[in-house]
Structure 1
Amino acid sequence: MLSHLRPAIVSMGLFTVLLGLAYPLAVTGVAQAAFPAQANGSLVKDAKGTVVGSILIAQGFSKPEYLHPRPSAAGSGYDASASSGSNMGPLNETLIAREKTDADALRAENPGVTIPADAVTTSGSGLDPEISPANARFQAPRVAKARGLAVAQVQAVIDGQTQGPLLGFIGQPRVNVLAVNRALDARFPTGGKKGG
């Protein structure tokens, strides 16, 4: 019986060491050497070295002087440990009511302006760090007013942070909310105000 178990035990031990230890360590080592920022979560740090966010995960900005991300269905909002969509269909009454409430608030803030779809709809993960250029342009007047700037100054920062489709044809143009907000703070400081 031992002669039948020995190959199974040896194989299990070998593959545990090979695939459970050696391979993950090798991949981690290559990732740390070749792509250290990405391997460590694409963290963004301020001038003092304090982590202020990740370029890959949305965080809530609610102050008027900042671009706001898409609404989040992740936990109580922008909770990376509860990443998910709402799983509500387009005819769900709760979803319709929430989107209507959000749209009404945006219309009150920006009368006479067409509201971009991604300003009231959540992403599949609830943590999408990017918005459409139309959504960013939609928010530019509010940001400019709160910072005491011309809309063109805010739009120039947004344009500088707008990314085109990957490889020129994959996906849509997009604007990273954290990148724009940090660029706004760097170019037009708000007297020490913090994002939030």
Structure 2
Amino acid sequence: MKKYIIQSIRLTLVLLVLLCVVYPVTVAFIGKMSKGNGGGEKITKNGKTVGYALLGQSFTKPQYFWGRPSAVAYNAAGSAGSNKGPSNPDYLKEVQSRIDTLLKYNPGIKKSDIPADMVTASGSGLDPNISEQGAAIQIRRVAKARNIDEKKVKELVAMNTLKPFMGMFGPSSVNVLKLNLALDEL
């Protein structure tokens, strides 16, 4: 019996060192070698931080591309989804309201043109990217609001489109903050 207790204590101590010291130090070290030194990739404009590459922001003006809706108002401290299912009447009203807003501000598109990511919040509520189709349905509105040729805006979207990892893992997407900053530079 004593033999098993001593083995259990040794195993507990080894796991404590591994999981409470070695693993966190390793993760912190790897984080320090990444972009932003583990604090996230900051996006700056004129020496001022305007956002982070991996955190969504709210854009509501017609001259900007709009991001994916957020169930937490883009608050990184409260990252979460809405936890409402497709049979919840409040959720359905919320989605319909988002569809109506997109149709109102983007004339010429049909309800069937709207991708799901433009009317549903992500699991974290902080998604910084939208699908290529989500950007495409907004091109006309943004070009008109800025008095820019639609071709230029399409080219800008194409230049800011992130292709799937290794050409096959995941969908193409567009980082909304980076795209909007590129628009401001036009």
Instruction: Return the offset for 1:100.
Output: 1.4
In the alignment, the residues of structure 1 paired with residue 60 and residue 106 of structure 2 have an alpha-carbon distance, to the nearest angstrom, of 16
* SS state at 1:175 partner: strand
In the alignment, the residues of structure 2 paired with residue 182 and residue 89 of structure 1 have an alpha-carbon distance, to the nearest angstrom, of 34
Instruction: Return the offset for 1:13.
Output: 7.0
Instruction: Return the offset for 1:23.
Output: 4.3
- Amino acid across the alignment from 2:64: Y
Of the three residues 66, 73, 76, the one matched with 1:68 is: 66
The answer to whether the aligner puts 1:107 opposite 2:103 as a matched pair is yes
Contact preservation (8 Å) 2:62, 2:105: no
In the alignment, the residues of structure 2 paired with residue 87 and residue 132 of structure 1 have an alpha-carbon distance, to the nearest angstrom, of 22
The unaligned stretches of length 5 or more in structure 2 are none
In the alignment, the residues of structure 2 paired with residue 90 and residue 43 of structure 1 have an alpha-carbon distance, to the nearest angstrom, of 35
- Amino acid across the alignment from 1:29: F
Contact preservation (8 Å) 2:53, 2:175: yes
Of the three residues 75, 86, 89, the one matched with 1:90 is: 86
The answer to whether the aligner puts 1:44 opposite 2:43 as a matched pair is yes
- Amino acid across the alignment from 2:49: V
Instruction: Return the offset for 1:139.
Output: 0.8
**Structure 1 pair 36/113, CA: closer, same or farther in 2 (3 Å)?**
closer
Which residue matches 1:54?
Answer: 52
Which residue matches 2:158?
Answer: 159
Report % sequence identity: 37
The answer to whether the aligner puts 1:31 opposite 2:31 as a matched pair is yes
In the alignment, the residues of structure 1 paired with residue 97 and residue 75 of structure 2 have an alpha-carbon distance, to the nearest angstrom, of 22
**Structure 1 pair 31/87, CA: closer, same or farther in 2 (3 Å)?**
closer
Query: What's the CA shift string for 1:56-84, capped at 9, x where partnerless?
Result: 1101111111111011112xx11111211
Instruction: Return the offset for 1:12.
Output: 6.7
Number of residue equivalences: 182
Instruction: Return the offset for 1:125.
Output: 1.4
Instruction: Return the offset for 1:36.
Output: 3.9
Instruction: Return the offset for 1:158.
Output: 0.5
What TM-score comes out, normalization by structure 2 length?
0.84
Instruction: Return the offset for 1:47.
Output: 2.5
In the alignment, the residues of structure 2 paired with residue 18 and residue 108 of structure 1 have an alpha-carbon distance, to the nearest angstrom, of 56
Which residue matches 1:170?
Answer: 169
The unaligned stretches of length 5 or more in structure 1 are 189-196
Q: How does 1:178-189 map to 2 (within 5 A)?
A: 178-186=177-185, 188=186
Q: Which runs of 4+ in 1 moved over 4 A?
A: 5-19
